[in-house]
Amino acid sequence: MRHRILGGTGIEVSTHCLGTMMFGSAGNPDHEDSIRIIHTALDHGINFVDTADMYSAGESEEIVGKALQGRRDDVVLATKVHFPMGEGPNRGGNSRRWIVREVEASLKRLRTDWIDLYQIHRPDHRTDIEETLSALTDLVRQGKIRAFGSSAFPAHETVEAYHVARQRGLYRFRTEQPPYNILARGIEGDVLPTAQRLGLGVLTYSPLGWGFLTGRYRKGRHVDLAQGRAARAPERFDPSIPVNAAKLDVVEELVKLADEIGCTLPALAIAFAASHPAVTSVILGPRTMEQLEGLLKGASLVLDDSVLDRIDELVPPGTNIYHPVGLWSPAPLIDPALRRRPVGDRAAAS
C-alpha cells in the first residue's frame, strides 16, 4: 500500500483509509466480524483508520478500540467530534466545553492514550472558530491528540480558520475530510484548491456515491425502496426523481468504461478519487469482509489520462450530479430570514 504525507504533519498514511461508520448497530452489529475486517485491512497495508464518536452512538469507536489492542503503535487513528451524543443542551457542537469533555470519552472508548487526528465533524456557527481552535491547541499541548482537522467545511471557513490561527498564535487545521466521487465533483472548484494552497491533507469520503458507483443500482432495474439505504433515504434512490435518473445515466456509461479497461466499477471510482493531487487518502467504508476484499483488489489500479478524460466528458470537473450527503450548505440557503429583508424594508422607495 502506497503512503502519502498527511498535510504538514510528517505522518505517513496509506492511500486507502479504513472508514468504520458501518461498524456497530448502524451497519454490522457483529463486533468480532467487524474486528476481523479491521485486522484484514491492516494486514493488507492500510495503516489509517477513521471513525467518529457519533458512529452507532460510540459503538464504532469501541469496536476500533478492541481491534487495535496490541497494534495501536502501527496505526494512525482518526476520530471526530461535533454531533449530539445525548439529549439536552451542550452535548454536541464545537465549543471548548464539549470538545474537552468528549475527547475523554473517545479516548476511553478507543482504549488509547492519544488520538493521531481529531476532526471537527461539521462547522458550528454558534461557536467562534477561535474558541474551537484554542481548545484543540490545548489538547495537542497536553498530548491527548497529535493533530486536528475539519470535515465538510466550505473553503471560505477553512481560510477563516487558517487566518484566525495565525493571528492568535494557535495551531491550525491540518486536514479536511470532504465527500468526493465521480458523481459529486463540486469540491474541485474551491475546497481542493484551497487545501492545496494551505498545505492540508485531504481524506475523502463517499467514493462510491452512496452506493451508485457499486453497480448495484442500474438503469431500468427495480429499486426496492423498502430495503437498506434506500429505505432510509428513498428520495436519493427513487429512479423517477430526475437527479437519480441522471445518476443512473452516468453509471451506465461508467460501467462500459470499467469493462473496457478491465476493472470493476468500484475500483474505477476509488482510483478516480485517489488520482487528484490534493487527495491524500480515500476512505473505504465496508460493512462486510466481502466488500473490503472487493475494494482492496483495485488498490493497484492506475487510471491514465485517456480514462480520466472520458470521465471528464461524462461529469465535467467541478460539477455535481447530486448534492453529496453531509456537504455543507450556506446558512442563508437554509434559513429564509438570512436572505430576506423585513417586509417594510424591501422596496427601493418608501
Q: List residues with catalytic annotation.
A: 55
Closest by CA position to 217, among listed 232, 200, 229: 229
Alpha-carbon distance 304 to 306, whole Å? 6
**Chain position carrying cell 480520466:** 308
Alpha-carbon distance 3 to 257, whole Å? 28
Q: Hey, what amino acid is at 150? A: S
Contact 27, 56 (CB under 8 A): yes
Task: List the grid coordinates of 284.
Answer: 473505504
- Got the DSSP string for 16-69? EEEE-TTBSTTSB--HHHHHHHHHHHHHTT--EEE--TTGGGGHHHHHHHHHTT
Secondary structure tally for the chain: helices H, strands E = 12, 10
Contact 173, 140 (CB under 8 A): no
